Amino acid sequence: MFSSFMTNAWIGGTIVAALAGAVGFFVVLRGASFAAHAIPNGAFAGAAGATLVGVDPLFGLVSFAVLAALGIGVSSRRTRNDVATALSLVLMLALGAAFLTLSSDYEPAVNALLFGEILGVSASEILPVLILGVLCLVALVALFRPLVFTSVAPDLADARGINATFVEIAFLVVLALSTALTVPVVGALLSFSLMIGPPAAARLLASRPSRAIALSVMLALATVWLSIAGSYTFNLPIGFFVGSIGAVMYVAARLWGAVRARRLERVVL
Amino acid sequence: MIDWLFEPGLFVNHSVLTAMGVGAVVATVSAVVGIFTVLRGQSFAGHALTDVATAGGAGAFLAGLAPLAGFVGGGVVGAGAMDVIGVQRVKGRDIATGVVLGAATGLAALFLYLSTTHSSATGTTQLILFGSIFTVSSSTLPEVVIASVVVLIIVAAIGRPLLLSSLSAELASARGVRLRAVGLAFMVVLAISVGLSAIVIGSILSTALLIGPPASALKVVGRVGLGVVVSVLLGVGATVLGIVLAYDSYYWFPSHRGLPVSFFVVVVVVAEFVAASVLQRSRRTRAPATRPTTLAVTSGGH
């Protein structure tokens, strides 16, 4: 499990998990799950397009993810947010389907992009992933206060003169960059699971933002580590483990919350 | 000229005709159910259920069951899970949908992996994800029609309380509408309709036809009843036009590699939406005092 060809998987997975845990907290806080689902799919189309024209897939991933984020952010001003996201999503997926039909790489490549191929992480991919990951974390730290403020008290933030549209679009771009990094590692479909399950569980267990973020990162790391180990041991796709561990964490947190509430009730009574 | 638009053999080709028939039926159901989906702001659930249905379909394929049962059953189970986690509260809805979606994609990854390694079904993944309307056999047509009629009957039966609770939950509950029951009934209808469209036309088109035509219709029409009609026309129109273009596209490239139907239908759907948005804006600037149209498709979070 810790042999040399797995080293990149562990390093890549760790970077991606830390990032997804941090970004995911804001996704859950802002109710942006749909965007977090749509953007990696847009990124998937970009990767398919990049393979078609012979460019580095990471370039296609990043550019299409940012394009999807801007599309959602800009069109949301005039249309209902969920409709704008749905239409951006299907447009991106349709482009991806067209690119795939035109290119000759068929099923294995698609499966790897959709469901992730963590063993396929190469040493040359680690450095760009690390650099972009650090950039995203820096941007998150810079945006931390306005992000929390506009999510928790939008009216107050507006009165203080914070430009909510700008914050929203900046956040979507950070989300886009971080999903673009996650896609090659855990796949377009499951970079989403990593951004929802652990952070949603963390939010249930911790109420202060800083503590919830720390917990979210820890849970995401645990999810990815367990998933790599499980994928290696049982020879099953990593996406299955990421998806189910995330859901189990959320359900466990809900149950724990219910038990705690009942205990509290008993103490009060 | 006619040959240029309709390549020779288009209207005598049996699989094209079947595709158009099935496509029109599914587009109609999606357009009707979609109106309520857009009004209730449940686009995410509507889309997520396609992926949940896909997981069900992949599971059915693996277990050797009928795929249609897998798609519809998977969708209904997913809808139930979303309701249990809390889809009715607007705040929890996003997370509930997300958690179920995450778990379902994980299962889909497992099922697809198992079915592609344990059987020689090449192309299954592609087929399940992107669907292929041209491979619909004419024998599935009756099943699809029956399921569609059932969906439309349920929508007609719960139409009034559903509409009221979609537009104003407070008003509806004051009138004695049981919001939770109506919401759950709608989720089940949505799941059946989405499972049906996901197996016939693939998950991309399923979402496109569920959200695109209704959102366009609600932008240009003020009344819901009329909106349903416009939505159906836009949806069926996009499906038929998309199939024609996809059939033609076979001759566009020297490699004789036609582009997928889903691509063309989505392009038409998005074009309709852009046109509807332009129309809405030009009407607003022309008659700012009357403030017509737009029931729900104005800006605002979900």
pLDDT digits 0-9 by tens, B183-238: 888 989 999 999 888 877 777 888 999 999 999 999 998 888 899 999 999 999 99
Please name the member of B44, B107, B126 whose beta carbon is closest to the beta carbon of A107: B126
Q: How many angstroms separate the CA atoms of A198 and A216, rounded?
A: 6
Record: contact B208-A94, CB cut-off 8 A: yes
Is the Cβ–Cβ distance between B12 and B204 less than 8 Å? no
> How many CB atoms are located within 10 Å of the residue B258 CB?
19
CA atoms within 13 A on the CB side of A131: 5
| Cross-chain Cβ contact A86/B110 below 8 Å | no
Q: How many residues does chain A have?
A: 269
B121 SS3 class: coil
- Residues 6+ positions from B221 with CB-CB distance below 8 Å: B227, B230, B293
pLDDT, mean of residues A38-60: 81
Nearest CA-CA partner of A188 in A106, A123, A117, A87: A117
Q: Which residues contact A59 (CB under 8 A, 6 or more apart)?
A: A50
Do you know the residue count of chain B? 302
Please judge whether A80 and B112 are an interchain contact, meaning their C-beta atoms are less than 8 angstroms apart: no
Q: How far is B76 from chain A (nearest CA, A)?
A: 18
Given CA atoms A98, A101, A103, A105 in this order, what sign does their dihedral have? Answer: positive
Span A76-95, pLDDT tens digits = 777 778 898 889 888 888 88
More confident residue, B255 or A61: A61
Collect all residues of chain B within an 8 Å Cβ-Cβ radius of residue A31: 91, 94-95, 301-302
Residues of A in contact with B51 (CB under 8 A): 189
Residue A73 pLDDT exceeds 50: yes
Residue B198's contacts (CB-CB under 8 Å, 6 or more residues apart) are B50, B53, B54, B57, B71, B75, B131, B206
Chain B residues near residue A77 by CB distance under 8 angstroms: 299
Q: Among B110, B212, B262, whose Cβ lies nearest the Cβ of A97?
A: B262
Mean model confidence pLDDT for chain A: 82
Instruction: Please report the pLDDT score of residue B293 as a whole number.
Output: 46
The pLDDT of A206-234, averaged and rounded, is 90
pTM for the whole structure: 0.84
- Rg (C-alpha) for chain A, rounded Å, is 19
What are the Cα distances from residue B54, in Å, to A71, A91, B82, B195, B205? 27, 19, 16, 8, 13
**What are the backbone angles phi and psi of residue B182, rounded to the nearest 5°?**
-65, -40
Q: Which residues touch B129 (CB under 8 Å, ≥6 apart)?
A: A114, B54, B202, B203, B204
CB contacts of A89 in chain B (<8 Å) are 47, 207
Q: Please tell me the distance from the alpha carbon of residue B90 to that of residue B104, in angstroms, as a whole number.
A: 21
Strands (E), A57-135: none
CB contact under 8 A, B106 and A86: no
- What percentage of chain A carries pLDDT values higher than 90? 12
Domains and their CATH numbers in chain B: 2-286 (1.10.3470.10)
* Between B298 and A100, residue with greater pLDDT: A100
pLDDT reported for residue B271: 94
- Of the candidates A82, A97, A242, the beta carbon closest to that of B204 is on A97
- The radius of gyration of chain B's CA atoms, rounded to the nearest angstrom, is 20
Residue B208 CB: number of other CB atoms within 10 A? 36
How confident is the model at residue B218, as a pLDDT? 92
Q: How far apart are CA A28 and CA A46, in angstroms?
A: 25
ipTM associated with this complex? 0.84
Token digits for B181? 């029951």
Residues of A in contact with B116 (CB under 8 A): 107, 111
Which residues of chain B make contact with A82, given a CB cutoff of 8 A?
A: 41-44, 302
Mutate to test the interface with B, among A33, A52, A238, A242 (most CBs of B within 10 A): A33
Q: CA-based angle A157:A161:A167, to the nearest 5?
A: 65
For B210, which residue in chain A has the nearest alpha carbon? A86
Q: Do A101 and B259 touch (CB under 8 A)?
A: yes
Q: Please judge whether A76 and B299 are an interchain contact, meaning their C-beta atoms are less than 8 angstroms apart.
A: yes
Ordered domains of chain A (ranges, CATH): 4-268 (1.10.3470.10)
Q: If pLDDT is split at 50, 70 and 90, which confidence band does A186 have?
A: low
Q: Cβ of A207: how many Cβ atoms within 10 Å?
A: 8
Q: How confident is the model at residue B171 (pLDDT cuts 50, 70, 90)?
A: confident
Residue B193's pLDDT is 92
A155: pLDDT strictly greater than 70: yes
- Which among A33, A89, A115 is the nearest to B97, CB-wise? A33
Residue B297 — very low, low, confident or very high, per pLDDT cuts 50/70/90? very low
Handedness of CA B270, B275, B276, B281 (dihedral sign): positive
Taking only the tens place, the pLDDT of each residue in B80-111 is: 888 888 755 666 778 888 888 888 888 887 88
Q: Sorting pLDDT into bands at 50, 70 and 90, what band is B120?
A: very low
Q: How confident is the model at residue A117 (pLDDT cuts 50, 70, 90)?
A: low
Nearest CA in chain B to A37: B98
Q: Across the interface, do A107 and B123 touch by the CB < 8 Å criterion?
A: yes
More confident residue, A82 or B284: A82
pLDDT at B34: 94
Contacts of B259 in chain A (CB under 8 A): 98, 101-102
Q: Which of B58, B32, B81 is nearest to B194 (CA)?
A: B32
Q: Which of A122, A172, A146, A171 is nearest to A9 (CA)?
A: A122
